[in-house]
Protein backbone atom coordinates (compact mmCIF):
# COMPACT_ATOMS: atom_id res chain seq x y z
CA UNK A 1 0.00 0.00 0.00
CA UNK A 2 1.35 3.39 -0.99
CA UNK A 3 1.61 5.88 1.84
CA UNK A 4 0.41 9.42 1.28
CA UNK A 5 1.48 12.76 2.76
CA UNK A 6 -0.89 12.52 5.68
CA UNK A 7 0.41 9.09 6.66
CA UNK A 8 3.92 10.48 6.55
CA UNK A 9 2.98 13.29 8.90
CA UNK A 10 1.34 10.92 11.34
CA UNK A 11 4.46 8.75 11.42
CA UNK A 12 6.58 11.82 11.98
CA UNK A 13 4.76 12.69 15.19
CA UNK A 14 6.31 9.58 16.74
CA UNK A 15 9.84 10.48 15.61
CA UNK A 16 10.77 13.54 17.60
CA UNK A 17 14.31 13.90 16.29
CA UNK A 18 13.04 14.67 12.80
CA UNK A 19 10.91 17.50 14.20
CA UNK A 20 13.58 19.05 16.37
CA UNK A 21 14.96 22.55 16.83
CA UNK A 22 18.58 21.65 17.52
CA UNK A 23 19.66 21.66 13.84
CA UNK A 24 17.94 25.01 13.38
CA UNK A 25 19.59 26.49 16.46
CA UNK A 26 22.98 25.16 15.37
CA UNK A 27 22.60 27.16 12.15
CA UNK A 28 21.74 30.43 13.89
CA UNK A 29 18.85 32.32 15.52
CA UNK A 30 15.34 31.00 14.92
CA UNK A 31 12.22 33.11 14.32
CA UNK A 32 8.87 31.61 15.39
CA UNK A 33 5.42 33.00 14.64
CA UNK A 34 2.66 32.24 17.10
CA UNK A 35 0.10 29.58 16.21
CA UNK A 36 -3.09 28.44 17.91
CA UNK A 37 -4.30 25.43 15.92
CA UNK A 38 -3.66 23.29 12.85
CA UNK A 39 -4.80 25.94 10.38
CA UNK A 40 -2.52 28.64 11.77
CA UNK A 41 0.36 26.12 11.82
CA UNK A 42 -0.17 25.34 8.14
CA UNK A 43 -0.26 29.06 7.36
CA UNK A 44 3.05 29.55 9.18
CA UNK A 45 4.56 26.67 7.24
CA UNK A 46 3.31 28.01 3.89
CA UNK A 47 4.72 31.43 4.80
CA UNK A 48 8.17 29.86 4.94
CA UNK A 49 8.87 29.80 8.67
CA UNK A 50 11.09 26.98 9.93
CA UNK A 51 9.19 26.51 13.19
CA UNK A 52 6.34 27.89 15.31
CA UNK A 53 5.30 28.68 18.86
CA UNK A 54 2.05 27.58 20.55
CA UNK A 55 1.30 29.99 23.37
CA UNK A 56 -1.07 29.12 26.17
CA UNK A 57 -2.84 32.41 25.66
CA UNK A 58 -3.49 31.62 21.99
CA UNK A 59 -4.99 28.24 22.91
CA UNK A 60 -7.20 29.75 25.62
CA UNK A 61 -8.41 32.64 23.49
CA UNK A 62 -9.04 30.27 20.58
CA UNK A 63 -11.45 28.52 22.96
CA UNK A 64 -13.10 31.87 23.70
CA UNK A 65 -11.60 32.07 27.19
CA UNK A 66 -9.14 34.46 28.86
CA UNK A 67 -5.54 33.46 29.44
CA UNK A 68 -5.92 32.71 33.15
CA UNK A 69 -4.78 29.11 33.44
CA UNK A 70 -8.13 27.61 32.40
CA UNK A 71 -6.78 25.25 29.72
CA UNK A 72 -6.35 21.69 31.01
CA UNK A 73 -3.50 19.33 30.19
CA UNK A 74 -5.82 17.11 28.17
CA UNK A 75 -7.04 20.09 26.14
CA UNK A 76 -3.49 21.27 25.48
CA UNK A 77 -2.34 17.76 24.59
CA UNK A 78 -5.19 17.39 22.08
CA UNK A 79 -4.30 20.73 20.50
CA UNK A 80 -0.61 19.74 20.23
CA UNK A 81 -1.49 16.40 18.67
CA UNK A 82 -3.82 18.03 16.17
CA UNK A 83 -1.13 20.49 15.07
CA UNK A 84 1.54 17.78 14.78
CA UNK A 85 -0.73 15.71 12.54
CA UNK A 86 -1.14 18.41 9.89
CA UNK A 87 2.15 20.33 9.92
CA UNK A 88 5.76 19.25 9.64
CA UNK A 89 6.98 22.35 11.48
CA UNK A 90 8.76 21.81 14.80
CA UNK A 91 6.97 23.88 17.43
CA UNK A 92 7.40 24.94 21.03
CA UNK A 93 4.59 24.76 23.56
CA UNK A 94 3.76 27.01 26.48
CA UNK A 95 3.17 24.51 29.29
CA UNK A 96 2.52 27.17 31.97
CA UNK A 97 3.73 25.87 35.34
CA UNK A 98 3.13 22.21 34.53
CA UNK A 99 -0.45 21.70 35.71
CA UNK A 100 0.25 20.90 39.36
CA UNK A 101 2.88 19.27 41.54
CA UNK A 102 6.02 17.40 40.53
CA UNK A 103 4.09 14.31 39.44
CA UNK A 104 1.71 16.43 37.35
CA UNK A 105 4.65 18.25 35.79
CA UNK A 106 6.43 15.00 34.91
CA UNK A 107 3.26 13.69 33.30
CA UNK A 108 2.68 16.93 31.40
CA UNK A 109 6.15 16.90 29.85
CA UNK A 110 5.77 13.27 28.83
CA UNK A 111 2.36 13.79 27.26
CA UNK A 112 3.27 16.98 25.38
CA UNK A 113 6.43 15.35 24.04
CA UNK A 114 4.56 12.22 22.90
CA UNK A 115 1.84 14.36 21.31
CA UNK A 116 4.38 15.68 18.81
CA UNK A 117 5.80 18.96 20.15
CA UNK A 118 9.51 19.69 19.79
CA UNK A 119 9.91 21.48 23.09
CA UNK A 120 8.16 23.39 25.85
CA UNK A 121 8.72 25.97 28.54
CA UNK A 122 7.83 25.80 32.21
CA UNK A 123 7.39 28.99 34.23
CA UNK A 124 7.72 29.93 37.89
CA UNK A 125 4.27 31.43 38.30
CA UNK A 126 1.78 29.36 40.25
CA UNK A 127 -1.56 28.57 38.59
CA UNK A 128 -4.21 28.89 39.88
CA UNK A 129 -3.16 32.02 41.70
CA UNK A 130 -3.71 32.03 45.46
CA UNK A 131 -3.24 35.72 46.27
CA UNK A 132 -4.11 39.03 44.60
CA UNK A 133 -0.48 40.09 44.90
CA UNK A 134 1.39 38.67 41.90
CA UNK A 135 4.63 38.28 43.84
CA UNK A 136 2.89 35.98 46.31
CA UNK A 137 2.05 33.61 43.46
CA UNK A 138 5.62 33.24 42.28
CA UNK A 139 7.38 30.05 43.25
CA UNK A 140 10.64 30.45 45.13
CA UNK A 141 13.80 30.41 43.06
CA UNK A 142 14.84 27.05 44.52
CA UNK A 143 11.42 25.54 43.81
CA UNK A 144 11.47 26.82 40.24
CA UNK A 145 14.89 25.26 39.69
CA UNK A 146 13.79 21.96 41.21
CA UNK A 147 10.73 21.83 38.97
CA UNK A 148 12.80 22.43 35.84
CA UNK A 149 14.99 19.51 36.86
CA UNK A 150 11.82 17.42 37.02
CA UNK A 151 10.97 18.55 33.47
CA UNK A 152 14.46 17.72 32.22
CA UNK A 153 14.23 14.26 33.72
CA UNK A 154 10.79 13.64 32.23
CA UNK A 155 11.73 13.99 28.57
CA UNK A 156 12.69 10.84 26.71
CA UNK A 157 14.34 12.42 23.67
CA UNK A 158 17.37 14.67 24.33
CA UNK A 159 16.44 16.70 21.23
CA UNK A 160 13.21 17.78 22.92
CA UNK A 161 13.86 21.29 24.25
CA UNK A 162 13.13 22.17 27.87
CA UNK A 163 13.08 25.92 28.41
CA UNK A 164 12.99 27.66 31.76
CA UNK A 165 10.78 30.73 31.95
CA UNK A 166 10.55 33.31 34.71
CA UNK A 167 7.72 35.82 35.25
CA UNK A 168 9.49 37.53 38.14
CA UNK A 169 10.37 40.83 36.44
CA UNK A 170 7.13 42.82 37.03
CA UNK A 171 6.71 41.46 40.56
CA UNK A 172 10.19 41.12 42.07
CA UNK A 173 12.23 43.27 39.70
CA UNK A 174 14.50 42.71 36.72
CA UNK A 175 17.52 41.79 38.85
CA UNK A 176 15.65 38.89 40.43
CA UNK A 177 14.39 37.77 37.03
CA UNK A 178 17.94 37.74 35.68
CA UNK A 179 19.21 35.84 38.74
CA UNK A 180 16.45 33.28 38.24
CA UNK A 181 17.25 32.91 34.57
CA UNK A 182 20.90 32.24 35.38
CA UNK A 183 19.90 29.73 38.07
CA UNK A 184 17.68 27.91 35.57
CA UNK A 185 20.54 27.87 33.07
CA UNK A 186 22.83 26.38 35.73
CA UNK A 187 20.21 23.65 36.27
CA UNK A 188 20.72 22.52 32.68
CA UNK A 189 17.76 23.87 30.71
CA UNK A 190 18.30 24.28 26.98
CA UNK A 191 17.24 27.93 26.88
CA UNK A 192 15.95 30.53 29.30
CA UNK A 193 13.03 32.89 28.77
CA UNK A 194 12.60 36.09 30.77
CA UNK A 195 9.02 37.19 30.24
CA UNK A 196 7.67 40.77 30.44
CA UNK A 197 10.57 42.51 28.69
CA UNK A 198 8.88 45.56 27.25
CA UNK A 199 11.60 48.20 27.03
CA UNK A 200 14.98 48.24 25.33
CA UNK A 201 16.96 48.79 28.52
CA UNK A 202 15.52 45.65 30.14
CA UNK A 203 16.04 43.62 26.98
CA UNK A 204 19.65 44.75 26.72
CA UNK A 205 20.22 43.95 30.40
CA UNK A 206 19.02 40.38 29.92
CA UNK A 207 21.08 40.05 26.75
CA UNK A 208 24.20 41.21 28.58
CA UNK A 209 23.78 39.50 31.95
CA UNK A 210 22.38 36.13 30.91
CA UNK A 211 25.00 34.18 29.01
CA UNK A 212 22.86 31.10 28.32
CA UNK A 213 20.87 30.71 25.08
CA UNK A 214 17.76 32.88 25.36
CA UNK A 215 14.22 33.07 23.98
CA UNK A 216 12.35 36.36 23.79
CA UNK A 217 8.69 37.01 23.02
CA UNK A 218 7.77 40.18 21.13
CA UNK A 219 4.25 41.62 21.24
CA UNK A 220 3.52 44.83 19.36
CA UNK A 221 1.82 47.50 21.41
CA UNK A 222 3.61 46.58 24.63
CA UNK A 223 6.58 48.90 25.01
CA UNK A 224 9.48 48.85 22.56
CA UNK A 225 8.91 46.57 19.58
CA UNK A 226 12.43 45.71 18.47
CA UNK A 227 13.04 44.04 15.10
CA UNK A 228 14.39 40.50 14.91
CA UNK A 229 17.72 41.52 13.39
CA UNK A 230 18.51 43.73 16.39
CA UNK A 231 17.44 41.08 18.90
CA UNK A 232 19.56 38.46 17.17
CA UNK A 233 22.53 40.83 17.26
CA UNK A 234 22.02 41.07 21.04
CA UNK A 235 22.34 37.29 21.27
CA UNK A 236 18.77 35.99 21.48
CA UNK A 237 18.59 32.50 19.99
CA UNK A 238 14.82 32.23 19.54
CA UNK A 239 12.44 35.11 18.80
CA UNK A 240 8.70 34.54 18.99
CA UNK A 241 5.72 36.67 18.04
CA UNK A 242 3.07 34.80 20.07
CA UNK A 243 0.00 36.89 19.32
CA UNK A 244 0.31 38.49 15.89
CA UNK A 245 -1.36 35.83 13.75
CA UNK A 246 -4.31 35.45 16.11
CA UNK A 247 -4.75 39.20 16.48
CA UNK A 248 -4.85 39.54 12.68
CA UNK A 249 -7.34 36.67 12.44
CA UNK A 250 -9.63 38.36 14.96
CA UNK A 251 -9.48 41.62 13.00
CA UNK A 252 -10.25 39.83 9.74
CA UNK A 253 -13.15 37.85 11.18
CA UNK A 254 -14.63 40.96 12.78
CA UNK A 255 -14.41 42.88 9.49
CA UNK A 256 -16.16 40.05 7.63
CA UNK A 257 -18.94 39.87 10.21
CA UNK A 258 -19.41 43.64 10.19
CA UNK A 259 -19.71 43.54 6.39
CA UNK A 260 -22.29 40.72 6.49
CA UNK A 261 -24.36 42.50 9.10
CA UNK A 262 -24.25 45.80 7.26
CA UNK A 263 -24.88 44.51 3.72
CA UNK A 264 -26.56 41.13 4.07
CA UNK A 265 -24.19 39.61 1.52
CA UNK A 266 -20.50 38.61 1.33
CA UNK A 267 -20.27 40.39 -2.05
CA UNK A 268 -18.06 43.44 -1.89
CA UNK A 269 -15.90 42.20 0.96
CA UNK A 270 -12.31 42.12 -0.26
CA UNK A 271 -10.61 40.74 2.84
CA UNK A 272 -11.28 37.02 2.37
CA UNK A 273 -9.53 34.25 0.44
CA UNK A 274 -11.59 32.18 -1.99
CA UNK A 275 -12.55 28.52 -1.56
CA UNK A 276 -9.74 27.36 -3.84
CA UNK A 277 -7.11 29.07 -1.71
CA UNK A 278 -8.68 27.75 1.48
CA UNK A 279 -8.54 24.21 0.12
CA UNK A 280 -4.93 24.67 -1.02
CA UNK A 281 -3.91 25.72 2.48
CA UNK A 282 -5.40 22.64 4.12
CA UNK A 283 -4.19 20.22 1.43
CA UNK A 284 -7.52 19.09 0.00
CA UNK A 285 -6.07 18.03 -3.38
CA UNK A 286 -3.35 15.92 -1.75
CA UNK A 287 -5.85 14.26 0.55
CA UNK A 288 -8.15 13.45 -2.38
CA UNK A 289 -5.24 12.03 -4.39
CA UNK A 290 -4.35 9.74 -1.51
CA UNK A 291 -7.95 8.67 -1.05
CA UNK A 292 -8.33 7.95 -4.80
CA UNK A 293 -5.73 5.19 -4.58
CA UNK A 294 -8.22 3.07 -2.65
CA UNK A 295 -11.44 3.84 -4.52
CA UNK A 296 -12.96 1.78 -7.35
Dump pLDDT digits (tens) for 196-235.
999 999 999 999 999 999 999 999 888 889 999 999 999 9
Q: Quick one: pLDDT band at residue 4, thresholds 50, 70, 90? A: very low
- pLDDT, position 129: 79
Query: Is residue 272 pLDDT above 80, yes or no?
Result: yes
- pLDDT, position 222: 84
- Bin 253: left if φ > 0, else alpha if -120 < ψ < 50, else beta: alpha
Alpha-carbon distance 178 to 192, whole Å?
Answer: 10
Alpha-carbon distance 292 to 187, whole Å?
Answer: 52
Q: Quick one: pLDDT band at residue 17, thresholds 50, 70, 90? A: very low
- Residue in 58, 52, 144 with CA at minimum distance from that of residue 98: 144
Q: What is the pLDDT of residues 84-118, one digit of tens each?
A: 999 999 999 999 999 999 999 999 999 999 999 99
DSSP one-letter string for 147-195: HHHHHHHH-S-TTSEEEEEE--HHHH-HHHHHHHHHHHHHTT-SEEEE-
Q: What is the pLDDT of residues 117-173, one digit of tens each?
A: 999 999 999 878 788 888 999 999 999 999 999 999 999 999 999 999 999 999 999
- pLDDT, position 221: 83
Summarize the confidence of residues 44-59 as an average pLDDT. Answer: 97
Q: Quick one: pLDDT band at residue 44, thresholds 50, 70, 90? A: very high
- pLDDT, position 112: 98
- pLDDT, position 113: 97
- pLDDT, position 5: 39
Q: What integer best gives the mean pLDDT of the chain?
A: 92
- pLDDT, position 15: 36
What DSSP character marks residue 125? B
Q: How far is CA 100 from CA 69, 103, 107, 128, in A?
A: 11, 8, 10, 9
Amino acid sequence: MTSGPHCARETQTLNYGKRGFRPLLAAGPVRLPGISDGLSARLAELAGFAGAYLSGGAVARGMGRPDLGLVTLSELEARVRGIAEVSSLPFLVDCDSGFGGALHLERAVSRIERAGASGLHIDDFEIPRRRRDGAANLLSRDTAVARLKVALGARTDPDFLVIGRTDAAPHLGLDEAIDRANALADAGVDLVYVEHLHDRAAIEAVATRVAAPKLIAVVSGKGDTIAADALEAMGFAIITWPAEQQLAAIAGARAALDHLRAHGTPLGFAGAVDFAERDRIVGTAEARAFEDQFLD
